[in-house]
A and B are shown apart, each in its own frame.
Chain A
Amino acid sequence: MAAIAQRHYEAPWRAKLRLFLRGLSINWELFKESRVGLIGLAIIVFYGLLSLSYPILMATIWDHEIYNPVSGYDPVVVQQGGQHPAPPSARHWLGTDQHGRDVFSQLAYSARSEFFLGVMAALITVIIGTLIAAASAYYGGFVDTFFMRVADVAVLFPVIAFLIVLSAMFDLTLYSLAVVLGLIYGFGSITIVLKSQALTIKVKPYIEAAKVSGGSSFHIIFTHIIPNLLPLSFLYMMFNVTNAIFTEAVLSFFGLINIQMSWGMMVELANIGGYLTGEAVTRYWWLFFPAATSITALCAAFYFVGRGMDEIVNPRLRKI
């Protein structure tokens, strides 16, 4: 008898995994319907591959002296009678900049730091936002009022202006920028949106049931409210990646960040070198066009994926 019962018994983790996979495939079906979401995903995969290509190329066919994105220099171009910035060729797929460095290598190298910055800032934002939203929806009262007032300030905070002022006093690196951005956005509008969602979760019967069966506040927040908030949090994470990448690009365009190489900096270098005025814009297009297009494309890609997910997470947006 016991043996038969055991045969039908499924381990909890296995059941959870099966449900998770099924949910994933249902969501994927929904996501596939949104064409913009797929386009966004394709762009993200493309830039992911680009950032992967940098270490691979560096380890195999690229010479460190020549192709280093920050300190490289290619003497061969000058020896052959050319001059830097050199146009795209088989040797330099996107040409070189005015200091003789390879533009494609810069582009690929920067892709990784853009991903890192965007995802890290967005993760910090989402973690803070979700925790605050769950806590202020659950406890209400003073906690709620306090964090909502803080959110009022954060929403009205001119982030770029603030970071410009901050850069005058502190040394902003990629890491500190990610943390600062994550903090500012984390206390901002995301808490308001997630809190209103958490309020609708809080009145669900299973929360009552958990309370009646003696669950602590901590237990209820972490095992019942937050898991139900996560889809929406994840959606807002996408939008925050866009924000973070864009902010970094603007700040490095002004030359205010202490960073080795980034897409915004590539545009800034072209601007400082005077390659963005007059005739030079079309003649030296490879200096700024790949970088500026990449910023726009990656920002748009995360936003597109966010919109595609919006149709899964927000049932109100689904087609009737």
Chain B
Amino acid sequence: MRKYVIKRVAQILLTLYIYVTIVFIIVAAQPGDISQVYISNPRIPQEARDALKQRLGLDQPLHIQYVNYLKNIVTGNLGLSFTNYPQPVWEIIKERLPRTLALFLTATIIYYALAFQLGKLIAWRRGGVVDYSATVSGVVLWTVYTPWFGLLLIWIFAFQLGWLPIGKFIDPLKWRPFIKYISPNDVFNYILLYGGGGFVVLFSVYLFAQRLLQSYWARLSVNVGAVLLTAGSLGYLLFNTYPMGYLAQDILWHMILPAFALTAIGFGGYMLLMRDSMLDVVKEDYVMAAKAKGLPDKVVRDKHAARNALLPVVTSFVLSLAFAVDGGIVTETIFSWPGMGLTLLRAVVEEDLPLAIGTFVFTGIFALIAHLIADLLYAYLDPRIRYT
């Protein structure tokens, strides 16, 4: 295990290095530099341009710039944003990150669980009407033109039915009395802390129940009890604390639609993958043996087939963290959710280069580290991985 961890960490560090270097090459390869931005403005003298160049270190040879760039990334110095001038890029990222995280974790957990269950079921009944329609709708969800899908959701649920808010992440009217001493980010951190905590508790109770308890009814009652307790305490926090719970309600209210869109987009691909992987496993001899032993159909499906079929799905999940970033840009833009994706797009459109590069580098590093953690966790849970 230790050897595996060291190997993976070294690989990820190398990957990180390549990633950061590619970004540097792209920036260095672009024609001109920052001092040329206002080239048509005659009131900026050449001396001012030179001074700017010198101050930013752009007059240095390329390899020294590269070393400086690496040094800055390691020390977390991503520069100052142009559009929010005196604010450092790092501050902006720190402000936007929890919003993206809250949205993503919710959507990911939901679609992953759903895709696993449904993929398992339709593969078990291959060739039926359910399988056929689920496959087609899975492909359509996976390939649907995301901006259009998001707009459609807004039109149906927010405009026609009026059930949900149209965009943005808070309702300013509700926040006005509190905005002096509570920032939206405090509330986001609050949601992440308690929501994430609740999920971790539930998941570990579930795992322990699976491992330790033999009888079906004992497991069921422990699981149901844990779900009720967590839901009850989270509900109490949400509805009976003021103003935190009150404001969290507002944010969660705005989160429903984007989270639903992300869930639908991610769901299709994973359901199809789970189905294919399950079809593969169903042909294995041990499934046949389990059936021949006379085990109930459900036991064969859930314990013998589905667990092994999950393996490639988890691998693909780990690999597709980057895709989550891409999907996030579209979703966040359509729903005006001010997270990392929208920040990146705005920065590019407004030509705020430090913010754009900073966000991009940070997103990549974040995805790589998440990848590493998921990988290690996975290797820990499944001993077969370590030896391959």
Contacts and interface: CB of A to CB of B under 8 A. Distances in A.
Interface of A: 35-36, 149-150, 152-153, 155-162, 164-170, 189, 242, 246, 249-250, 253-254, 256, 264, 267, 271, 276-278, 281, 288, 292, 295-296, 299-300, 303-304, 307, 316-317, 319-320
Interface string B122-137: 0000110000100110
Given A169-B27, A292-B145, A317 B276 contact: yes
Interface in B137-185: 139-140, 142-148, 151, 155, 159
Nearest to B276: A317
Contact of B279 (A157, A170, A271, A317): A317
A250 B364 CA distance: 20
Contacts of A168: 348, 351, 353, 356
A278 B330 CA distance: 20
Contacts of A167: 348
A167 B344 CA distance: 12
Contacts of B11: 149, 152
A36 B325 contact: no
A172 to B, nearest CB: 12
Contacts of B348: 164-165, 167-168, 256
Contacts of B18: 149-150, 153
A161 B360 contact: yes
B322 A156 contact: yes
A249 B344 contact: no
Given A256-B348, A300-B140, A159 B326 contact: yes
Contact of A278 (B14, B135, B136, B159): B159
Given A149-B15, A316-B283, 6 more contacts: A36-B139, A158-B367, A159-B322, A161-B363, A166-B26, A303-B142
B368 interface: yes
A54 to B, nearest CB: 21
A267 B145 contact: yes
Interface centre among B15, B126, B147 (most CB of A within 10 A): B147
B371 interface: yes
Given A36-B136, A165-B360, A300-B140, A250 B322 contact: no
Nearest to A298: B143
A256 B30 CA distance: 16
A264 B144 CA distance: 12
A288 B325 CA distance: 26
A158 B326 contact: yes
Contacts of A276: 151, 155
B344 A164 contact: yes
B89 to A, nearest CB: 14
Top 3 A-B pairs, shortest CB-CB distance: A292-B148, A299-B143, A169-B30
B342 to A, nearest CB: 11
B345 interface: yes
